Amino acid sequence: MSAPVLEDHAAAGVVGTRMLRREDAALLSGEARFVHDVVVPGALHMAVVRSPYAHARIRSVDVSAALGMPGVVAAMTGADLAAEWASPMPCAWPVTADMQSPPHLPVALDEACYVGDAVAVVLAGSQAEAQDAAAAVVVDYEELPAAVDLEDAARDGVLAHLGAPSNRAYTWELAPDPEAVRRAFDDAAVTVKERYRQQRLIPAAMEPRGVCVVPQPFGGEYVVYSSTQIPHILRTMLGLTAGVPEERIRVIAPSVGGGFGSKLDVYAEELLCLALARRLRRPVRWSEERSEAAQATIHGRGQVQEIELAADADGRVQAVRVHLLADMGAYLQLVTPGVPILGAFLYHGTYDVPAYSFTCTGVFTNKTPTDAYRGAGRPEATYAIERAMDALARKLGMDPAELRRRNYIGADKFPYSSVAGLVFDSGEYEAALDEALGLVGYEALRQEQARRRSDGATKLLGVGLSSYVEMCGLAPSRVLASLHYVAGGWETATVRMLPTGKVQVVTGATPHGQGHVTSWSMIVADKLGVPPDDVEVLHSDTGVSPLGLDTYGSRSLSVGGTAIALAADRLVDKARLLAAYRLEAAPEDLELSDGQFAVRGSPSTSIGIGALAFEAFTAHDLPEGMEPNLEASATYDPTNFTFPFGTHIAVVEVDTETGRVDLVRYVGVDDCGNQINPLIVDGQVHGGIAQGVAQALYEEASYDERGNLLTTTFADYLVPAASELPSFTLGRTVTPSPSNPLGVKGVGEAGTIASTPAVVNAVVDALSHLGVEDLEMPVTPERVWRSVGAAAPVPGGAR
Amino acid sequence: MIPASFEYRRAGSVEDALGWLAEDPDSTKLLAGGHSLLPLMKLRLATPGVLVDVGRVPGLSYVRDAGDHVAIGALTRHRDLEISEVARAFVPLLAHVAGQVGDPQVRHRGTIGGSLAHGDPASDLPAAVLALDATMVADGPRGRREIAASDFFRGFLETALEPDEMLTEIRVRKAPSGWAFQKFNRRAQDWAIVGVAAVLDGDPRVALVNMGSTTVRARGTEEALAAGADAAEAADRASEGLEPSSDLHASAEYRRHLATVLVRRALVEAAAARG
Ligand SMILES: Cc1cc2nc3c(=O)[nH]c(=O)nc-3n(C[C@H](O)[C@H](O)[C@H](O)COP(=O)(O)OP(=O)(O)OC[C@H]3O[C@@H](n4cnc5c(N)ncnc54)[C@H](O)[C@@H]3O)c2cc1C
């Protein structure tokens, strides 16, 4: 398969144009409905009583006072609910055969393992009544020592779970040729060994989570509204965990206000609302509060990374060696253990590295569980290699752009078999670098930087580069099998035409802010020759779209969009046969253009696809053996991942007196293959960059030494706003993926992956002549100030 | 995020408000813009039994030229102060500082009276009125009294106002030039990690945001200036006698350092503005 570069046919249709998002009118006008807006008369409101201790034995839970409070219908403990569960909370990714997974129930029984762990629930007529009553539940805790710091926990000083053999969840290794790695380090002219901390992040989706479960009057069916990215996976997991036959559960994700991976999960509150609705035969709902979300929704990142590079005297990297500690938090959520593994294949970045080894140990701590967060494993990997490349450049006295250029996988090497075992589909890494350097005006910046240094300015300039490649389009099912993931990676779609010529697309992908409806309708509009507004996209409701694997890992276009394109092609094939029958022509003599099938060379002999849809619907006169209606389905299992790439450059000003860092310019050049809608691509990149900058400079889920989460409001957890960011300059190159017929790669995570190391590299670059080599994230003004005070100036002021 | 239950009363006049306050001053709270009080109530850090909404009391939102001073009604919103012609002409520091508070939503709801009465050392306007040597006018069951800014801020969330009093007006002497305000924060919408309001018009006054449990003056700096020190020397004494807190956003040591840098910058800027 090979796809043409998009611009070649952009003129022929809407694909490739910056069409405005069809979703936005409803979202901006407030018309869109989220779970909290779903009106369900008679619903009970659930409040969750949560552990205020990071680790505690639960001696007793007394709900009697709560039961006497106004509006309260029920109050239950973990023990009261234990019989509801057919199995513990699910983890779908046992990365090793010996992986430890402590028992995890929606409501804890006798041990609370993080601040926020559920210990009881209260149901009342209103949210306010439920919360008042929750405060009246009396829990007798015996506080236990807590495993808080990741490295301490890895040494088993304090066990996160009573009676566990250790805090180790697993150790996972990728070492294709350990001997080669050892040789490369023995022979290296230069080595660097770096240690980085990936702080924990709070995903902070604009809409917190929400659940509402409505038992249906007959047949034992449940409608589950949830603010989730994964209605399909959720249905299966709810069925298995709560012991409800799967077909009796219908999951609907209404408008979902962002997820970033945090809604790629099966949560206690979803199970609780279902079990309580079953038990009480009443609708049960729960809307997460912002400060509750900080504790009860998964965190991202949380790693300590050790990366070593071995290079020859010219700076060519010969080996990369990585050791990770990954903070699982208190329990394994849906894909917790797999997140660092998703990065395992990318620690050599965009570079042609012959020898590689990687180990990761997953460690339990008494903190909120971690799980997938925008980029999931790949931002961490990119951060480590891109920071280490800068360290290597400093050691070699080489310009960081030049060092990267020397090490890139050459454009002539694709498809490229990587040392970690992947086949990179296509790439032109140097072209993206050149484009980025040109856009930012690299040489002039270096001159300005030198000028400020020699003037002794207190506002220094720093330039930071980051080249990345990521693996998107999760995922070929066979590859998932080799990684012990329990599900596949395909996606499914149906395209059907209604009697009036309008089109319905049914997809198993689950948009939650990305603009899928716009993109899907553009693809189908061009395939069928109808206006995009005539294409309705049905999604996120297992009653309408019963099969699907949902949205995460930048998969929805390359996998889900491909399934839609294939289904549309099949529909066109059928329409062509019907057209040929009507026009008394051979199918191969027909051309489809602008929705009209015409006989080649005789354009007046034609019939519109809308008319054909009506004929297929009435079925009064169809060719022998043809079934009524124009409808086709396709399920696409990708043959490979896709590998978007690019180079981002951050320019910062650092005030050496206060430590303040201002991001003054930002250039991103991304290659995500063909672009269906460049406006949506830009939007994804904008948001992604902001989120990556947030990790670099602003955000951290901070804990004190007893395991209390300190950042539970937006006054303390600093999500940056537009006012903290410059206007981004975006460029692009287009290298279509040969792995799917659309030639697309995916762009949901790219900005986040690229920007964090670019920004931190820029700050270190600004201060490197003072001897600063590293700054821990988030790079706060105080950290910068201290580093400037502590650093020893580099003789001669080398870069 | 849902406050404990409370009774809500809407005052039509200062007399209404004072009457209700007098009934049970300790569990009654005035509600102005709500942007400090409601967050505390939602976190259940404040649980007043009665909320007296003064937001619609007429006649308390104004910025007036009163000859030798400017008079500001307690219910004047930050945004109205920011764009007031009178404030810009005669107390530009105050107009400028009002424009630095929080974000546009906050500035359109929050009031100067609420900001001062709240007594938060992290707030900006208290430092501005302290540097300007303003006078607070309070009404209460015992009549009206005037309180100097230097006597007004008593401690963390504590002012000289009695629980049954209402702040009604702020009087600020005219100081059209020779001022500066430095606010160091992480995001544009944030409270200051450290802030400095400096007025060099007349006796030099320097007030600090977030350098102690209440809004404070940089006495060391003021003394040094009076003794003829230059900006850098005076700034070195910025945190003399002060005990800033250590929190998630900054250590005390870093706050002290910032105070030095920001006071120096403010003094240089104010001196330049004085010409
Ligand atoms: C997101 C956010 C960011 C913010 N950022 C900043 C910032 O950067 N800088 C800053 O300075 N402030 C900031 N604030 C606080 C904001 O300025 C508040 O509006 C202000 O501090 C309080 O004014 P208010 O009218 O809202 O008072 P309210 O919240 O209504 O009241 C505050 C207190 O004062 C009492 N009170 C109110 N009016 C009177 C009166 N006339 N007499 C006696 N007592 C009275 C109330 O009873 C209450 O105890 C921020 C607030 C928010 C929500």
Whole-number Å distance between alpha carbons of A390 and A649: 13
Hey, what are A768's tokens?
Answer: 């490197």
For the residues A503-507, what does the mean pLDDT come to?
A: 98
Hey, what are B211's tokens?
Answer: 């350098």
How many residues does the structure list for chain A?
A: 799
Whole-number Å distance between alpha carbons of A428 and A701: 37
Whole-number Å distance between alpha carbons of A654 and A667: 18
Q: Which residues between 767 and 796 in chain A have a beta carbon less than 8 angstroms from any beta carbon of chain B?
A: 780-782, 785-786
Residues 6+ apart with CB under 8 A from A489: A474, A475, A476, A477, A479, A480, A549, A555, A559, A637, A638
Determine the structural domain holding residue B43 and report its residue range.
7-53
List chain A residues with CB under 8 Å of B251.
782
Residues 6+ apart with CB under 8 A from A281: A215
Delimit the CATH 3.30.365.10 region(s) of chain A. Answer: 490-636
Specify the residue with its C-alpha closest to ligand 1, atom 46. Answer: B30
pLDDT of A620 > 50? The answer is yes
Whole-number Å distance between alpha carbons of A233 and A93: 13
Amino acid found at B76: T
Specify the residue with its C-alpha closest to ligand 1, atom 39. Answer: B114
Q: Which of A658, A698, A721 sits opposite B189 (nearest CB)?
A: A721
- B119 CA from centroid of ligand 1 (Å): 9
Residue of chain B minimizing CA distance to A127? B2
pLDDT digits (tens, 9 = 90+) for B202-225: 899 999 999 999 999 999 999 999
Q: Which of B2, B43, B261 sits opposite A658 (nearest CB)?
A: B261
φ and ψ at A736, to 5 degrees? -60, 150
Strand A491-497 vs strand A503-507: parallel, antiparallel, or unpaired?
A: antiparallel
Q: Output DSSP code: residue A709.
A: B
Q: What is the pLDDT of residue A9?
A: 43
Can you tell me the ipTM of this complex? Answer: 0.96
- Percent of chain A past pLDDT 90, that is, above it, reads 96
> Which of B52, B106, B124, B145 has the most ligand 1 atoms within 8 A of CB, as the residue to mutate?
B106
Whole-number Å distance between alpha carbons of A401 and A411: 17
Cβ-count burial A686-714 (b if 16+ within 10 Å, e if not):
bbbbbbbbbbbbbbbbebeeebbbebbeb
Q: What is the pLDDT of residue A2?
A: 45
Tell whether B1 is covered by a domain: no
Continuous H helices in A584-711: 609-618, 678-693
Amino acid found at A133: A
Whole-number Å distance between alpha carbons of A395 and A427: 28
- Percent of chain B past pLDDT 90, that is, above it, reads 98
pLDDT digits (tens, 9 = 90+) for A731-756: 999 999 999 999 999 999 999 999 99
**Contact A716/B at CB under 8 A:** yes
Q: What is the pLDDT of residue B202?
A: 86
Tell whether B120 is covered by a domain: yes
pLDDT of B134 > 70? The answer is yes
Whole-number Å distance between alpha carbons of A761 and A379: 14
Please state the domain count of chain B. Answer: 3
**Contact A199/B at CB under 8 A:** no
**Residue A730: closest CA among A674, A643, A647, A662:** A647
Task: Output the 3-class SS for A399-446.
Answer: CHHHHHHHHECCHHHCCEECCCCCEECCCCHHHHHHHHHHHHCHHHHH
From B173, B202, B232, the end of a domain falls on: B173
pLDDT of B248 > 90? The answer is yes
Q: Which residues between 667 and 706 in chain A have a beta carbon less than 8 angstroms from any beta carbon of chain B?
A: 698, 702
- A384 CA from centroid of ligand 1 (Å): 44
**Residue A346: closest CA among A409, A431, A419, A410:** A419
**Residue A559: closest CA among A643, A633, A473:** A473
pLDDT digits (tens, 9 = 90+) for A8-57: 344 569 999 999 999 999 999 999 999 999 999 999 999 999 999 999 99
Q: What order of strands is seen across the sheet that includes strand A317-329?
A: A168-174, A355-364, A317-329, A300-311, A190-201
Whole-number Å distance between alpha carbons of A326 and A305: 8
Q: What is the pLDDT of residue A794?
A: 66
Tell whether B240 is covered by a domain: yes
Say whether B187 and A723 touch across the interface (CB within 8 A). yes
- B64 CA from centroid of ligand 1 (Å): 22
Distance (Å) from the C-alpha of residue A658 to the closest C-alpha of chain B?
Answer: 6
Hey, what are A610's tokens?
Answer: 């809308």
Residues B150 and B237 placed together within one structural domain of the fold: no
Q: Which of B4, B250, B262 sits opposite A782 (nearest CB)?
A: B250
From B118, B144, B173, the end of a domain falls on: B173
Domain A490-636, CATH:
3.30.365.10
Q: Which of A11-15, A559-563, B183-187 has the lowest mean pLDDT?
A: A11-15
Residues B81 and B163 placed together within one structural domain of the fold: yes
pLDDT of A501 > 90? The answer is yes
φ and ψ at B66, to 5 degrees? -115, 40
- Percent of chain A past pLDDT 70, that is, above it, reads 97
Ligand 1 atom nearest to CA at B37? 29
Say whether A291 and B1 touch across the interface (CB within 8 A). yes
**CA within 13 Å, CB half, A739:** 32
- B118 CA from centroid of ligand 1 (Å): 6
pLDDT digits (tens, 9 = 90+) for A525-560: 999 999 999 999 999 999 999 999 999 988 999 999
pLDDT digits (tens, 9 = 90+) for A359-391: 999 999 999 999 999 999 999 999 999 999 999
Q: A41-144+206-258+263-296 belongs to which homologous superfamily?
A: Aldehyde oxidase/xanthine dehydrogenase, a/b hammerhead (3.90.1170.50)
Q: Output DSSP code: residue B26.
A: G
Ligand 1 atom nearest to CA at B157? 49
Report the predicted TM-score, pTM, of the whole model to 2 decimal places: 0.96
Continuous H helices in B99-247: 104-109, 112-118, 124-131, 149-152, 219-226, 231-236
Say whether A724 and B184 touch across the interface (CB within 8 A). no
Alpha-carbon separation of residue A484 from A301, A333, A344, A421, B198 (angstroms): 21, 15, 15, 16, 64
Mean pLDDT estimate for chain A: 96
Residues B109 and B163 placed together within one structural domain of the fold: yes
**Residue A170: closest CA among A18, A397, A335, A363:** A363
- B99 CA from centroid of ligand 1 (Å): 14
Amino acid found at B59: G
Continuous H helices in chain B: 14-23, 37-42, 78-83, 85-90, 92-98, 104-109, 112-118, 124-131, 149-152, 219-226, 231-236, 252-274
**Residue A694: closest CA among A714, A670, A669:** A714
Say whether A724 and B4 touch across the interface (CB within 8 A). no
Tell whether B58 is covered by a domain: no
**What is the pLDDT confidence band of residue A603, given thresholds at 50, 70 and 90?**
confident
The pocket around ligand 1, CB under 6 angstroms, is made up of: B 29-37, 39, 74, 101-102, 106, 109-111, 113-115, 117-118, 123-125, 161, 166-167, 189, 191
Hey, what are A711's tokens?
Answer: 């950042």
> Looking at residue B139, which CATH number applies to its domain?
3.30.465.10
Continuous H helices in A529-561: none
Residues B211 and B252 placed together within one structural domain of the fold: yes
Q: What is the pLDDT of residue A682?
A: 97
Q: What order of strands is seen across the sheet that includes strand A590-593?
A: A590-593, A596-599, A602-608
- B112 CA from centroid of ligand 1 (Å): 8
Distance (Å) from the C-alpha of residue B39 to the closest C-alpha of chain A?
Answer: 10
**Contact A290/B at CB under 8 A:** yes
Mutate to test the interface with B, among A657, A723, A783 (most CBs of B within 10 A): A657
**What is the pLDDT confidence band of residue A612, given thresholds at 50, 70 and 90?**
very high
Decide: residue A342, CB within 10 A, 0-12 exposed, 13-18 middle, 19+ buried. Answer: buried
Q: Output DSSP code: residue B77.
A: B
- B79 CA from centroid of ligand 1 (Å): 13
pLDDT digits (tens, 9 = 90+) for A117-137: 999 999 999 999 999 999 999
pLDDT of B107 > 70? The answer is yes
Residues B17 and B87 placed together within one structural domain of the fold: no
Q: What is the pLDDT of residue A218?
A: 85
Q: What is the pLDDT of residue A219?
A: 84
Residues B19 and B85 placed together within one structural domain of the fold: no
Strand A602-608 vs strand A596-599: parallel, antiparallel, or unpaired?
A: antiparallel
Whole-number Å distance between alpha carbons of A405 and B26: 70
List chain A residues with CB under 8 Å of B4.
132
Residues B93 and B136 placed together within one structural domain of the fold: yes
**CA within 13 Å, CB half, A163:** 6
pLDDT digits (tens, 9 = 90+) for A633-689: 999 999 999 999 999 999 999 999 999 999 999 999 999 999 999 999 999 999 999
Delimit the CATH 3.90.1170.50 region(s) of chain A. Answer: 41-144+206-258+263-296
Residues B76 and B148 placed together within one structural domain of the fold: yes
Continuous H helices in A660-749: 678-693
Interface residues from chain B to A (CB-CB < 8 Å): 1-2, 4-5, 43, 184, 186-191, 193, 248-251, 254, 257-258, 261-262
Q: What is the pLDDT of residue A11?
A: 54
E strands, A498-546, in order: 503-507, 535-538
For the residues B246-274, what does the mean pLDDT come to?
A: 96
Q: What is the pLDDT of residue A792?
A: 66
Say whether B188 and A724 touch across the interface (CB within 8 A). yes
Q: What is the pLDDT of residue B273?
A: 86
Residues 6+ apart with CB under 8 A from A652: A461, A462, A464, A661, A662, A663, A664, A759, A762, A763, A766
pLDDT digits (tens, 9 = 90+) for A225-237: 999 999 999 999 9
pLDDT of A597 > 80? The answer is yes
Strand B50-53 vs strand B7-10: parallel, antiparallel, or unpaired?
A: parallel
Tell whether B169 is covered by a domain: yes
Q: How many CB atoms lie within 10 A of CB A793?
A: 10
SS3 A263: coil
Q: What is the pLDDT of residue A243?
A: 97
